[in-house]
Amino acid sequence: MAGNEPSTLTRRTFLQTTAFAAAGAASLATLAGCSQPASEGDASKEDAPVEVAEEVYFQSCMGNCSGWGCPCYVHVRDGKIANITRAKLKCPDGSDSPYQETCLKGYANIERMYSPTRVLYPMKRAGERGAGDWERISWDDAVSEITAKWKELQEQYGPEAVAFMSGSGSGMATISYTGRLQALMGAMTIAPCYDNTGMNVQMNHGGLGAYTIGHNEHRDMVNANNLFIWGTNPTESNIVDYHLVSQAKENGAKVICIDPIYTTSAAKADIYVPIRPATDGLLAAGMALISIRDGHEDVAHLQTMTVAPFLVKDSDGLYLRLSDLGQAEPLSEEDRVLVYEGGEAVAFDAASNPEIRGSFEVEGVAVKPAYQILLDRLNEWDLDTIAEMTDVPLETIEELAAIWNSGLSYIFTGFGPDHYANGQCGYDGMFALMDITGQEAKHGAGCSCTDFSAPNTPGLVNTATADLVGVAAPGRTIHAPHFHQLMEDGEFAGMTAPKAAYIYICNPITNEPDRQKWLKSFDAMEMVVVSDMFMSEAAQYADYVLPVAFLYERDDLSSTSNPFVKYTQKAVEPAGEAKGDFEIITALGKAMGFEDYFTQDLTTFLASCVTNDAAAAVGLSWEALQEQHAIWTYPEEPQVVGLTDIILSATGRFEFYHEGIQPMANVGQEWDMLKESCWFWEPPIEAWPETIGGFEAVDEAEKYPLLFISERCKFKTHTMFNNSPMILELDPEPYVKVNPKDAEAYGVTEGDVVRIENDRGYVVIKVVLNAGVRPGMLVIDHGWERDGYIDGHYSDLSTYETWPRFEQDNWFDCLVQMEKVQ
Ligand SMILES: Nc1nc2c(c(=O)[nH]1)N[C@H]1C(S)=C(S)[C@@H](COP(=O)(O)OP(=O)(O)OC[C@H]3O[C@@H](n4cnc5c(=O)[nH]c(N)nc54)[C@H](O)[C@@H]3O)O[C@H]1N2
Ligand SMILES: Nc1nc2c(c(=O)[nH]1)N[C@H]1C(S)=C(S)[C@@H](COP(=O)(O)OP(=O)(O)OC[C@H]3O[C@@H](n4cnc5c(=O)[nH]c(N)nc54)[C@H](O)[C@@H]3O)O[C@H]1N2
Ligand code: SF4
Ligand SMILES: [Mo]
């Protein structure tokens, strides 16, 4: 499909596909210098064929959303992109791929690419940080000034004086090349902590399999009888996969949406369950208790597929093993975990009907099956308290449990619960419910998560640092929730504060919590370099901005979140002096003195990523990609953990109990291993404004009684697409959604301007009344940068408070006050 194929269009098809497309095409035709403008009032010429020399290239949108990598064709006329069309890909069986849609943002990429906010040249700060005064400098000067400073700092303070930070802005292969320079420099990592709780609890439960992250691939949801949309809003955040929900519905599935907000997804569900924020784990516990009471415990599943029968020692929470009885070498392959059967402890694989309840003594050691520990924790709660805490009436919980047990049930989750400090209580509860009732490891039963339909594509291997094993490695990692403490105190958890940062595919000033702290930490550094295509908010506060080539201006490989590996072709020359990340890193690497490590060209690097045995086994190679552009590397059957894909947890079983669990990062926090090893529920750190069920309201609630969250919207992915005029026409400004009852209580109405604040900061923003917002909550669409707000910033409000188990950015764990400004 690539290459110089002229396409024949009539003016009518060119200009009249839809009003929306026509507007885009017309303006782009001008932009592209198209020599065939529509001639007004000349009907006879309307249908005359117009020869337009056009080159068509296979590409993909990397919208940093769940679609990540929607395939498309870009159409080039006179050296400019004039159109984007959907690429229709096929599954191995010849059917249309379910992963081939493109949303409104994908088509808006043309406007992004030609936006005046593109960074065209290397820029150096010329005034106050963030004031917008820049001087243009040459690439040579930028590279030599940046690397001279890095060398000076590393010589004086050691390799970790320089830190690298990347976000989720792109999953392209060339991005990984930055890791090569970081490893060679031994530079520190500043790790943003998006989605860690949700993802890690999934992995703790079902392992990181060959094709799955402890769950089912999205294609499998069409097989469900009951689809619980629980903690995600896929009509906004998973636009291109939402058709799978519709298909499940067409197949007869009942759709239930559990969300504190009446979202667009809730509006399309059969049953909407408003829930008190951050109490999902209790709702799951209530459904589990009812399921057990009503005889829906799947004992065989618990015995064979989960850790339920594994004997846990009361003394230390670790499994009882043959080695404890002196019958095997500790840690040897023979050292089996024991279960209880026929009045004695036997190796788990020698038992056919092990106990899953009770408490036993084995050679003087007190033990319990892991399931008994879960039951004990569940039984601490009664259904009335759960109803009070979740604000879900008891009859609704009963109804939900009955539906759950009426057929194949499937949870489509996302990152709603993840964004509160107690997020693990929610996911651990949902997964325990699946384990207890055997709703997993079957087609149509289990769970999938908004962002990661098909996370691992066999054959695509990041080779950027493959030859550096044993030669060079990056320095230590400071997670975002503790980064500012490190910067303020100069030292934290044995690390010394970095003096410079290189930030790429990341816009932390907007996307991380507690923006004021970020501004201070930028100030505390001697040099901040951001590489981006646009003057993102992080770029606006940097010392140097390096211009990056847009997706369509470089060759690359992508595979994220769907089963295709894609070769995306350079279609046009980079704007201005922009360069691909690969070229930028190569230039910086050479100037740092690593010439010998930066000798390969881009094609050699990309080809090396798809040259391996796993690639060969699925017909993936550089040559094949040149011809086919997109290669399906997955099995044909939708992947289900525990059925088609292995459970790669520590025990090879679904784990609702985590033996010897350790925190994600040990930073001196209090750690109660026994407590963290199995489901429990405690309120979030800040987002608990009322005293309920004996859990006291937080002190902040007196001053800041409203709970503030953000929500994905279809018009942007994070801060991307803020620069598309078409999208801004549809969604021109940020607003806060307020329940009419709260509006009345606060004396505000539609269109008023309010100041929302807490001790960390404030934002001034317009009000939109929305009865779908839970009273006591305020919602702002996620992704607006500082220029969007009347004053302040929504990211000034959120906090870095974290739970001991996960390093996590908890944007929703946030209380605020609201007052009318005008
Ligand atoms: N309030 C609030 N904040 C949130 C969230 C929330 O729900 N509420 N969600 C959070 C979540 S889950 C996530 S994943 C994060 C995402 O946070 P980020 O990863 O910071 O997301 P983006 O805004 O997409 O920023 C990516 C930047 O990378 C740039 N970029 C894109 N492609 C390339 C490339 O090829 N090379 C280089 N060098 N740069 C490139 C883009 O122009 C953009 O400026 O946001 C988080 N922030
Ligand atoms: N258009 C668009 N799509 C995106 C993105 C984007 O920025 N824009 N970002 C992508 C990324 S990186 C991610 S991580 C995903 C995230 O995708 P989602 O998980 O869908 O993210 P959100 O919309 O932030 O939150 C999900 C839902 O959780 C609800 N919620 C809030 N609190 C609670 C709670 O306590 N319990 C329950 N049950 N629900 C709660 C919110 O009201 C919201 O409807 O989206 C991806 N897709
Ligand atoms: S923004 Fe996301 S869903 Fe939309 S086209 Fe791009 S990758 Fe696909
Ligand atoms: Mo995310």
Both structure tokens of 802: 């974290």
Which residue's CA is minimally distant from atom 4 of ligand 3?
103
Around 189, how many Cα atoms within 13 Å sit in the side-chain half-sphere? Answer: 17
Per-residue DSSP letter, 467: G
Q: Give the number of the ligand closest to the Cα of residue 511.
A: 1
**Mean pLDDT lowest among 85-99, 300-314, 404-418, 668-682:** 85-99
Regarding the beta carbon of 783 and ligand 3, being less than 6 Å apart is answered no
Regarding the beta carbon of 713 and ligand 3, being less than 6 Å apart is answered no
- In the chain, CATH 2.40.40.20 sits at 699-820
Regarding the beta carbon of 506 and ligand 3, being less than 6 Å apart is answered no
Q: Model confidence over 352-403: pLDDT tens digits?
A: 999 999 999 999 999 999 999 999 999 999 999 999 999 999 999 999 999 9
User: Is residue 303 helix, strand or coil?
Assistant: helix
With contact defined as beta carbons under 8 Å apart, do 540 and 128 qualify?
Answer: no
Ligand 4 center–CA 518 separation, angstroms: 19
Both structure tokens of 355: 């106990």
Which of 415, 422, 449, 718 for mutating ligand 2's site (highest number of atoms within 8 Å of CB)?
A: 415
Q: Give the number of the ligand closest to the Cα of residue 167.
A: 1
> Which residue has tokens 């937080």?
698
- Cβ contacts of 92 within 8 Å, gap of 6 or more: 632, 636
Q: Model confidence over 293-334: pLDDT tens digits?
A: 999 999 999 999 999 999 999 999 999 999 999 999 999 999
pLDDT band per the 50, 70, 90 thresholds, residue 8: very low
Handedness of CA 217, 221, 223, 228 (dihedral sign): positive
Count other Cβ atoms within 10 Å, centred on residue 692: 17
Both structure tokens of 749: 């109405």
Helix or strand holding residue 340 (H, E): strand 338-341
User: Is residue 369 helix, strand or coil?
Assistant: strand
If phi over 0 gives left and psi between -120 and 50 gives alpha, with beta otherwise, what is residue 722? alpha
User: Is residue 482 helix, strand or coil?
Assistant: helix
Count other Cβ atoms within 10 Å, centred on residue 800: 24
For the domain spanning 218-453, the CATH number is 3.40.228.10
Q: Which of 585, 718, 452, 611 lies closest to 174 in space, CA to CA?
A: 585
Q: Is the pLDDT of residue 41 over 90?
A: no
Ligand 4 center–CA 398 separation, angstroms: 33
Q: Model confidence over 205-240: pLDDT tens digits?
A: 999 888 888 889 999 999 999 999 999 999 999 998
Q: Which of 560, 522, 566, 530 lies closest to 548 in space, CA to CA?
A: 530
The answer as to CATH 3.40.50.740 being correct for domain 123-194+458-548+577-612 is: yes
Which residue's CA is minimally distant from atom 40 of ligand 1?
505
Q: Is the pLDDT of residue 472 over 50?
A: yes
How far CA 463 is from CA of 92, 251, 617, in Å, comes to 27, 43, 18
Residue 230 confidence (pLDDT)? 98
Per-residue DSSP letter, 573: P
| φ and ψ at residue 619, rounded to 5 degrees | 75, 25
Residue 67 confidence (pLDDT)? 72
Which of 113, 194, 232 for mutating ligand 1's site (highest number of atoms within 8 Å of CB)?
A: 194
Rounded to an integer, what distance in angstroms lies between the CA atom of residue 124 and that of residue 144?
13
If phi over 0 gives left and psi between -120 and 50 gives alpha, with beta otherwise, what is residue 540? alpha
Both structure tokens of 331: 């840690």
Residue 456 confidence (pLDDT)? 79
If phi over 0 gives left and psi between -120 and 50 gives alpha, with beta otherwise, what is residue 347? beta
Q: Which of 719, 735, 740, 720 lies closest to 262 in space, CA to CA?
A: 740
Residue 338 confidence (pLDDT)? 98
Q: Is the pLDDT of residue 759 over 80?
A: yes
- Interior angle at CA 491, CA 488 and CA 493, nearest 5: 120
Regarding the beta carbon of 70 and ligand 3, being less than 6 Å apart is answered yes
User: Is residue 512 helix, strand or coil?
Assistant: coil
Residues paired with 60 in a beta bridge? 71
Per-residue DSSP letter, 569: P
Count other Cβ atoms within 10 Å, centred on residue 457: 26
**Mean pLDDT lowest among 82-91, 392-401, 694-703:** 82-91
Residue 39 confidence (pLDDT)? 41
- In the chain, CATH 3.40.228.10 sits at 218-453
Rounded to an integer, what distance in angstroms lies between the CA atom of residue 418 and that of residue 450?
12
Residues paired with 345 in a beta bridge? 340
Count other Cβ atoms within 10 Å, centred on residue 779: 24
With contact defined as beta carbons under 8 Å apart, do 606 and 620 qualify?
Answer: no
Regarding the beta carbon of 425 and ligand 2, being less than 6 Å apart is answered no
- Ligand 1: residues within 6 Å at CB? 64, 167-170, 172, 175, 194-195, 415, 419, 504-507, 511, 531-534, 536, 548, 581, 710, 717-720, 782, 795, 798, 811
Q: Model confidence over 336-365: pLDDT tens digits?
A: 999 999 999 999 999 999 999 999 999 999
- 736 alpha carbon, distance to own chain's centre: 23
The environment of the single-atom ion ligand 4, i.e. residues with CB closer than 5 A, is 194-195
The answer as to CATH 2.40.30.10 being correct for domain 699-820 is: no
Residue 208 confidence (pLDDT)? 87
Amino acid at residue number 741: K
Regarding the beta carbon of 105 and ligand 3, being less than 6 Å apart is answered yes
| φ and ψ at residue 796, rounded to 5 degrees | -75, -15
With contact defined as beta carbons under 8 Å apart, do 81 and 552 qualify?
Answer: yes
* High-pLDDT (> 90) share of the chain, %: 87
pLDDT band per the 50, 70, 90 thresholds, residue 4: very low
Count other Cβ atoms within 10 Å, centred on residue 268: 17
> Which residue has tokens 């339920």?
308
Atom number of ligand 2 nearest to Cα 718: 7
With contact defined as beta carbons under 8 Å apart, do 318 and 650 qualify?
Answer: no
Cα end-to-end distance, the chain, whole Å: 57
Residue 796 confidence (pLDDT)? 98
What average pLDDT score do residues 721-741 get?
96
Q: Is the pLDDT of residue 30 over 80?
A: no
Rounded to an integer, what distance in angstroms lies between the CA atom of residue 648 and that of residue 652?
5
